[in-house]
Amino acid sequence: MNSQPPEYQLSDEGSAASSLVLSGDWIQGQDPANFSQLKSELSSVSPTSLTADGSSLGAWDSELMDFLLQCHDYCRAQEIAFATRNMPQGIEKLLAVATAVEARPQPGQDSPSRPLSFNPLHALHDAIGDLQESLAFTGEVTIALARLARGKANTRLSDFKKFCYQAGPDAFAIISLTSVLVGMILGYLGAVQLQQLGAGIYVANLVVIGMLREMGVLMTAVVMAGRTGAAYAAQLGTMQTNDEIDAITTMGISPVEFLVLPRMLALIVIMPLLTIYANLLGIIGGGIVAGGLGISPLQYMLQGETALAFNHVLVGLLKSLVFATLIAVAGCRAGMNSGRSSSAVGQAATNAVVTALVYLIVADAAINILFQQLGL
Amino acid sequence: MTDASIPQVQIEIRDVTMAYGANVIQRDLNFTINRGDIFVIMGGSGCGKSTLLKHMLGLIPPSSGDVLYDGKSFFQASAAEQGAMRQRWGITYQSGGLFSAMTLEQNIALPLELYTQYTPVEIADIVAYKLALVGLAGYQTYYPSAISGGMQKRAALARAIALDPDILFFDEPSAGLDPISSRLLDELIVQIKESMGATVVMVTHELPSIFAIATNSVYLDNISRTMIAYGNPTELRDHSPQPVVRQFLTRAAAAAIEDKP
């Protein structure tokens, strides 16, 4: 097939009228004619009317329509009378359809899309909005808790049990793996330094205190934020898309009491238990490393016992309660405030994990500073 | 429609303006719904029908105006009063709104467990009865995801009528159903309404449903952004002064009208 490149010829027809003669094949695969070039030609001629002539036109498809529509829009904007002649019937009809409804003014009022660039002001604005949302949500949760304490809340025990199971026994495998490994990492870290001083036996102290006060609870919280916090956000977000939260509200039930409280309380009950379990396994992990250094299990246990103090255990458990609340608030808030589309649910899950991790680190630092000052 | 029988009015929409941000969807909506009506909110896609329903259900407060039930403002009522009003409603949502984590039986039993003193055995019996009413007898243990779209809509209807409500709200009940299922659902709505004496408020643009069951209606126009017709849909079709409304109701070729997205 031998096709001609698309071309146009702008010519003056006298008394400020111009004609635009189109020729060649205006189809995909040909070099498209450049409208901006025609635009500059038109603005130098500035005619009062423009007639597009299709008498010598070859094959055509959307490429031509696009060009003609741009001509039409430009002429309308410049108040030039635009007409066509000798065009194939299809073009006339398509042009009539395409120009029937006036284009919506470009700056869309209802959905201002944000450019894909980083703007610190926007980021700050978002962060403040997030914080406000979190505070409002915390308030709602507090009210719901007060109603629960008075026995008036619509929170179901069966839901609570189900979420306890999901947060607890279901998480055993991954918690086991991470805590043994974290215990071993702590052990190696200490062993390398302590053996230089001939104090290898103190690995036990390091692992016991490290796990109880810090790593056991923090690693459990990180795993639970990714596992359970994100799941809460996704569950609630999907319920939002599916009108289920509306259905609960219009049934006269508070969604916070019915959906958020059981999830949150389950996590608050389960997290300390998981933390104790993680601490134990972490200490065993440290023991494995100590064994590799020639410290017998009995030595490790006896030495570890000297480091074991009740306030270390207490600090870890207190942290686990705080962390559980933060993870549940971050996850449930992201889910309850999720938009109503599948991408919004994904965003809610991401948001839940990111917020939870930030909360965790900040809270951990704050608690450590507080206890340092209190001398605990 | 200024009727002499004012006590019959059950729901009143007063000066409601709906907007998302600065984008006004509908303004100055004023109409009443009488006790026992099958009332249809109609209009083209995107005119704000579902949003109006959300305002009526108290899910989102309107930008201005009020919704009154039996002369009492919903949005100024206390949380406890709102809860009491809501117990008298039955609602099905566009996507059904069944709780996906619960079986059909648990779905329908939930309002009964919350608001009645029935024993678990009695509740199971009532659930079986409500499921039988919508033609889903024996589906108690199914999850919503395991049944078809039409069955989900019927199951949602069974949950909506669990507490024998005064007012039933339906958001596009027959959207996405085949003509036969859609007609069966219409008949079901009429039967349930007549036997329970409830008021029905329906958002739909399914013409066969509108003519088959509606007794009163309002038309929301998305060009002038307000209501332009109120009355019995059959009368509106034949005598409305608004060509748009006649065209909508006769499904005429929209020669003079541009359907804006």
Residue A53, C-beta contacts closer than 8 angstroms, at least 6 positions apart: A19, A20, A21, A22, A84, A85, A86
Coil, strand, or helix at residue B36? coil
Q: What is the DSSP letter of B96?
A: B
Contact B86 A251 (CB under 8 A): yes
pLDDT at B91 over 80: yes
Q: Which pLDDT score is estimated for B177? A: 79
Residue B198, C-beta contacts closer than 8 angstroms, at least 6 positions apart: B90, B164, B165, B166, B167, B168, B192
Strand B38-43 to B199-203 pairing: parallel
Contact B100 A238 (CB under 8 A): yes
Q: Which residue has the tokens 């071309």?
A: A7
Residue among A215, A257, A231 at smallest CA distance from A170: A231
Residues belonging to chain B with any Cβ–Cβ distance to chain A shorter than 8 Å: 20-23, 54, 57-59, 82-84, 86-87, 89, 91, 93-101, 110-111, 114-115, 258, 260
C-alpha A232: how far from chain center: 14
Our CA-based measurement puts residue B2 at a distance from the nearest CA of chain A, in whole angstroms, of 31
The CA distance from B31 to B201, in Å, is 13
Chain A residues with beta carbon closer than 8 angstroms to that of B105: none
Higher pLDDT pick, A336 / B7:
A336
Q: What is the mean pLDDT of each run of 10 residues along chain A (376 residues)?
A: 78 80 84 81 84 85 86 86 86 84 59 66 84 88 93 88 92 94 93 88 93 94 95 94 90 91 96 96 94 90 91 94 95 92 92 94 95 87
Q: Which pLDDT score is estimated for B120? A: 93
The H or E element spanning position B158 is: helix B149-160
CB B223 within 8 A of CB B260: yes
Q: List the structure tokens of B130.
A: 């409500």
Report yes or no: A368 at the B interface, CB cutoff 8 Å: no
- Residue B257 binned pLDDT confidence (cut-offs 50, 70, 90): very low
CB B155 within 8 A of CB B144: yes
Q: What is the mean pLDDT of residues B123-147?
A: 92
B144 to each of A127, B68, B136, how far by Cα in Å? 38, 34, 12
Chain B residues with beta carbon closer than 8 angstroms to that of A99: none
ipTM: 0.84
pLDDT at B250 over 80: yes
Q: Closest partner residue to A249 among B59, B101, B115, by Cβ?
A: B59
Q: List the structure tokens of A144.
A: 């719901």
Contact A244 B98 (CB under 8 A): yes
Best residue of B25, B100, B257 to probe chain A, by most A CBs closer than 10 Å = B100
Contact B260 A109 (CB under 8 A): no
The CA distance from A208 to B98, in Å, is 50
Q: Closest partner residue to A247 among B23, B97, B115, by Cβ?
A: B97
pLDDT single digits (tens) B187-228: 888 888 888 888 999 998 888 888 888 999 999 988 888 899
Q: Closest partner residue to B97 among A109, A242, A253, by Cβ?
A: A242
Chain A residues with beta carbon closer than 8 angstroms to that of B20: 110
Q: What is the DSSP letter of B21?
A: T
Report yes or no: A4 at the B interface, CB cutoff 8 Å: no
Q: Which pLDDT score is estimated for B3? A: 46
CB A266 within 8 A of CB A367: no
pLDDT single digits (tens) A108-144: 444 555 567 778 888 888 888 878 888 899 999 999 9
Sign of CA dihedral A330, A333, A336, A340: negative
Contact B87 A247 (CB under 8 A): no
Contact B96 A251 (CB under 8 A): no
Residue among B183, B159, B179, B181 at smallest CA distance from B169: B159
pLDDT at B30 over 70: yes
- Residue B4 binned pLDDT confidence (cut-offs 50, 70, 90): very low
Contact A250 B89 (CB under 8 A): yes
Q: Which pLDDT score is estimated for A8? A: 85
The CA distance from B158 to B109, in Å, is 10
CB A53 within 8 A of CB A21: yes
CB B40 within 8 A of CB B233: yes
The CA distance from A337 to A263, in Å, is 16
Q: Which of residues 81-100 of A touch B (CB under 8 A)?
A: 100
C-alpha A290: how far from chain center: 42
Q: Which residue of A has its CA nearest to B160?
A: A251
Q: Is B1 exposed, middle or buried (0-12, 13-18, 19+ CB in 10 A)?
A: exposed
pLDDT at B2 over 50: no
Contact A101 B260 (CB under 8 A): yes
Report yes or no: A109 at the B interface, CB cutoff 8 Å: yes
The full 3-state SS of chain A, as one line of letters, equals CCCCCCEEEEEECCCCEEEEEEEEEECCCCCCCCHHHHHHHHHHHCCCEEEEEEEEEEEECHHHHHHHHHHHHHHHHHCCEEEEECCCHHHHHHHHHHCCCCCCCCCCCCCCCCCCCCCHHHHHHHHHHHHHHHHHHHHHHHHHHHHHHCCCCCCCHHHHHHHHHHHCHHHHHHHHHHHHHHHHHHHHHHHHHHHHCCCHHHHHHHHHHHHHHHHHHHHHHHHHHHHHHHHHHHHHHHHHHCCHHHHHHHCCCCHHHHHHHHHHHHHHHHHHHHHHHHHHHHHHHHHHHHHHCCCCHHHHHHHHHHHCCHHHHHHHHHHHHHHHHHHHHHHHHHHHCCCCCHHHHHHHHHHHHHHHHHHHHHHHHHHHHHHHHHCC
Q: What is the mean pLDDT of residues B168-194?
A: 85
